Chains A and B, each alone.
Chain A
């Protein structure tokens, strides 16, 4: 089955700086890679995703890059703000839909004021 590795487990950055979280996956059949933000006491919130036919996707301060050859993808957050503090999970899945997600172990992002 799929295995997703995520690093770092904790990331502390100054407000206004950029944050980068990296993930690798093992199954070459995986073709969908979402990122979720989970705040304390809440369910995961989908913040951005990328499919295997795309190398990069951006949405305002958030961007995701995918390197299919190396089987890794990254989340980039620019101009970080206190409300960005949360746990971020990367995930991977294969198939066209109705397929479970395999999650990385999560990154606790701390934005220092």
Chain B
């Protein structure tokens, strides 16, 4: 298996909802990443997990809560989001000793 999968593909939520994004890989990668991509902009790093431990948090608001329950799974829990949080959320993974990052197709999030 050489791909990163993300669910759901699309998500629409209200500002009071709680939802979660899921990312999965079975390439044996031990580093996983969340990026946010606004329309016509480049991806921006949010979080990095290395060996299931949070290693980088790019000063992301607490309404975004990442979780890495095991080496294959990465979640992003969402709560009390704002309309400006609407974006494509991308997950990526890599071998922790190598730089190549492989991205999933993303979850298109719309906050109403």
Chain A interface (Cβ < 8 Å from any Cβ of B): 32, 34, 36, 41-46, 49, 51, 89, 93, 95-106
Contact = CB atoms under 8 A, between A and B. Distances in A.
B22 interface: no
Interface string B83-112: 000000010001111111111111000000
Contacts, number: 67
B31 interface: yes
B29 to A, nearest CB: 10
Contacts of A32: 99
B103 A97 contact: no
Contacts of A49: 99-100
Contact of A98 (B40, B94, B105): B94
Contacts of B48: 98-100
Contacts of A103: 42-44
A96 B100 contact: no
Contact of A42 (B44, B50, B100, B105): B105
A30 to B, nearest CB: 11
Contacts of B56: 99-100
Contacts of A51: 99
Contact of B99 (A93, A102, A104, A106): A93
B58 interface: yes
